[in-house]
């Protein structure tokens, strides 16, 4: 690793000032699991690391009216095992359980995962499907970015150079709504997904028509891909197995999958159809059963 | 620039001066001479470097040593009492859960973190907790059996 200094800002304001001062030379970090790995490979080589762990008020998981808010310092494992998360947005814990290993989840944070913007991020597609909001703080004040607009390219986000991700807000699912995250990996555990599919499906009433749906893919393109054509085919319809099978067949036409060490583009196309079908089915079952 | 690092390892307090770019694994092995913790892949994938930090299993190869400031670390060396092996170590020996031994300290520390938190894990919970630890010799079955055998004993 290239040598660097660690700075310990005490506040978000101080962090933003340091970022403004050092620009590309500085990187913020919390757990560091991803950043240290990239630094060891010399893919990034900052001169300054800004350790966020000394900032008060960034380490929390709390309920606010109709949503959960998660601070930037909350580790993946804390969120995965939080009774509040399990009770309110169970699918979030299920998704996090598929990330890395316990040792990584004990240290790495949800905010860090998002800011890395790995195309195979598991949280990214699910947070888009769940209509989350990302709370960002910078020298120019605070703003909210929907995750759909947050990921701009491979490992690139919409964060300005002196901004940091402060918290993640996730609305509770309404009644008759179901959400699911499915991940297709080559190994059973501890692997990045070849395809990740997040589905949130809302029914008008139990056994009613689909009033709204979001289907988002991870791991197949540079940024998470929302399948808006498939969504449009489901919206306003009474969904049954044959409709699901029909629309799933169109799913891979909406994206141009990447090819990498884990899978070919052709294989990804096939798996997109399989997992979109499965994802819609599971989300529908949950929407009918009322389990998130 | 070197910085002060105060931490506890296996119950003993240390006061060290370390460069910010050094990992916890490097400091444990090179500065403290505790070489039971292994460097495998160096990228957080194999789990050979697993230690317990404030009660949680972590990969010490991906953790900056300065992130352990003020914390309590346990490594494989802290488990036995003189010649008396820890129950997990004993179970690994008895069940043949060791061949070359390179993954063993990581396996045992990951298992210990699990059992400290959840003394009666299911087989699935053991598998989940060891998913980040690779063994290229035994094939896992004996390792999982060894961990489960400890959960069935009253004292640990």
- Residue A139, pLDDT score: 87
Give the CATH number, domain containing residue A30: 3.30.43.10
* Cβ neighbours of B123 in A, within 8 Å: none
- How many domains are contained in chain B? 2
> Does residue A91 share a domain with residue A182?
no
Both A161 and A183 in a single domain?
no
| Same-domain pairing of A195 and A278 | yes
B46 with B110, same domain? no
pLDDT in tens, A189-237: 778 889 999 999 999 998 899 999 999 999 999 999 999 999 999 999 9
Nearest to A210 by CA among A284, A291, A152, A292: A284
Interchain pair B131, A36: CB under 8 A: no
In a domain, A55, yes or no: no
Question: What DSSP assignment string belongs to A144-193?
Answer: EE-HHHHEEETTEES--TT-EEEEEEEEPPPTTEEEEEEEE-SSSSS---
Whether A135 and A153 map to the same domain: the answer is yes
Residues of chain A in contact with residue B42, where contact means CB-CB under 8 angstroms, are: 40
Q: Is residue A124 part of a domain?
A: yes
ipTM of the complex: 0.96
pLDDT computed for residue B151 by the predictor: 84
pLDDT at A291: 53
Range of the domain at A210: 177-289
Structure-token pair, residue B69: 């400031």
Question: Which residues share a beta bridge with B72?
Answer: B8
Q: Are residues A166 and A193 in the same domain?
A: no
Assess whether B54 and B108 both reside in one domain. Answer: no
> Which domain covers residue B91, as residue numbers?
87-151
Domains in chain A: how many in total? 3
Which residues, in sequence order, are CB contacts of A189 under 8 Å at separation 6+? A101, B127, B128, B131
Q: Which of A171, A191, A225 is the last residue of a domain?
A: A171
- Tens-digit pLDDT profile for residues A20-67: 999 999 999 999 999 999 999 999 999 999 999 999 999 999 999 999
Same domain, B92 and B73: no
The minimal CB distance from B62 to the residues A3, A37, A51 is found for A37
Residues A280 and A206 in one domain: yes
The reply to whether B156 falls in a domain is no
Contact B53, B68 (CB under 8 A): yes
B44, B59, B77 - which closes a domain: B77
DSSP A206: T
The residue with greater pLDDT, A252 or A74, is: A74
- Residue B156 is predicted with a pLDDT of 45
Which residues of B lie inside 8 Å of A (Cβ-Cβ)? 1, 3, 19-21, 23, 42-45, 47, 50, 56-59, 62-64, 66-67, 110, 113-114, 127-129, 131-133
Domain limit, last residue, from B46, B77, B108 = B77
B18, B19, B21, B74: best to mutate for the A interface, most A CBs within 10 A = B21
CATH of the domain at A69: 3.30.465.10
Q: Are residues B101 and B42 in the same domain?
A: no
Measuring CA to CA, which residue among A36, A105, A116, A101 is closest to residue A75?
Answer: A105
Taking the C-alpha atoms of residue B152 and residue B156, their distance in angstroms, rounded to an integer, is 10
Domain shared by B57 and B100, yes or no: no
A87, A20: one domain: no
Domain containing B113 — which CATH number?
1.10.150.120
Q: Does A140 reside within a domain?
A: yes
A18 neighbors A12 (Cβ within 8 angstroms): no
Q: What is the pLDDT of residue A106?
A: 98
Q: Which two tokens stand for residue A168?
A: 């993640």
| Span A82-138, pLDDT tens digits | 999 999 999 999 999 999 999 999 999 999 999 999 999 999 999 999 999 999 999
Same domain, yes or no: B57 and B92: no
Residue B82 lies in a domain: no
* Largest interatomic CA distance in chain A: 60
Give yes or no: residues B14 and B57 share one domain: yes
In B, minimum Cα distance to A39 occurs at: B21
**B103 with B122, same domain?**
yes
Do residues B57 and B99 share a domain?
A: no
Give the model's pLDDT for residue B153.
Answer: 63
Q: For residues B115 and B71, state if they share a domain.
A: no
Residue ending a domain, choose from A123, A139, A171: A171
pLDDT at A191: 80
Mind listing the pLDDT tens digit for each residue in B119-145?
A: 999 999 999 999 999 999 978 999 999
User: Do A202 and A134 lie in a common domain?
Assistant: no
């Amino acid at each position: 690793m290239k040598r660097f200094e660690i700075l310990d800002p005490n506040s978000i304001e101080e962090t933003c000032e340091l970022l403004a001062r050092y620009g590309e030379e500085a990187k913020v970090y919390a757990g560091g699991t991803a950043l240290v790995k990239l630094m060891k490979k010399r893919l990034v080589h900052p001169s300054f690391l800004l350790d966020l762990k000394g900032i008060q008020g960034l380490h929390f998981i709390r309920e606010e009216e109709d949503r959960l808010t998660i601070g930037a310092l909350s580790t993946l494992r804390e969120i995965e095992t939080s009774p509040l998360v399990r009770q309110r947005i169970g699918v979030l814990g299920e998704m996090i359980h598929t990330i890395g290993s316990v040792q990584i989840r004990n240290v790495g944070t949800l905010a860090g995962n998002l800011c890395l913007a790995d195309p195979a991020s598991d949280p990214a597609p699910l947070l888009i499907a769940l209509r989350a909001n990302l709370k960002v703080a910078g020298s120019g004040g605070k703003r909210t970015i929907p995750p759909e607009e947050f990921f701009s390219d491979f490992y690139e986000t919409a964060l300005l150079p002196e901004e940091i991700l402060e918290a993640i807000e996730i609305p509770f699912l309404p009644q008759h709504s179901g959400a699911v995250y499915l991940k297709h990996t080559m190994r059973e555990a501890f692997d990045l997904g070849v395809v990740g599919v997040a589905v949130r499906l809302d029914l008008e009433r139990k056994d009613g028509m689909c009033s709204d749906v979001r289907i988002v893919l991870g791991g197949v393109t540079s940024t998470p891909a929302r399948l808006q054509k498939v969504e449009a085919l489901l919206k306003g319809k009474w969904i049954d197995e044959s409709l699901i099978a029909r629309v799933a067949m169109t799913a891979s036409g909406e994206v141009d999958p990447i090819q990498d060490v884990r899978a070919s583009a052709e294989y990804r196309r096939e798996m997109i159809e399989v997992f979109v079908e499965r994802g819609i089915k599971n989300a529908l079952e949950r929407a009918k059963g009322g389990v998130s | 620039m070197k910085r002060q690092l105060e931490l506890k390892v296996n119950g003993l307090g240390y006061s060290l001066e370390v460069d910010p770019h050094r990992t916890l694994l490097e400091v444990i092995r090179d500065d403290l001479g505790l070489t039971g913790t292994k460097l495998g892949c160096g990228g957080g994938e194999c789990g050979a470097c697993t230690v317990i930090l404030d009660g949680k299993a972590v990969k010490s190869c991906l953790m900056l040593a300065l992130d352990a400031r003020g914390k309590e670390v346990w490594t494989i060396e802290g488990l036995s009492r003189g010649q008396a092996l820890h129950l997990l170590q004993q179970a690994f020996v008895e069940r043949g859960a060791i061949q070359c031994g390179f993954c063993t300290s990581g396996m045992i520390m990951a298992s210990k973190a699990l059992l400290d938190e959840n003394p009666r894990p299911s087989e699935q919970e053991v598998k989940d907790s060891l998913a980040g630890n690779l063994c290229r010799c035994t094939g896992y079955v004996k390792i999982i059996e060894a961990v489960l055998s400890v959960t069935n004993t009253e004292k640990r």
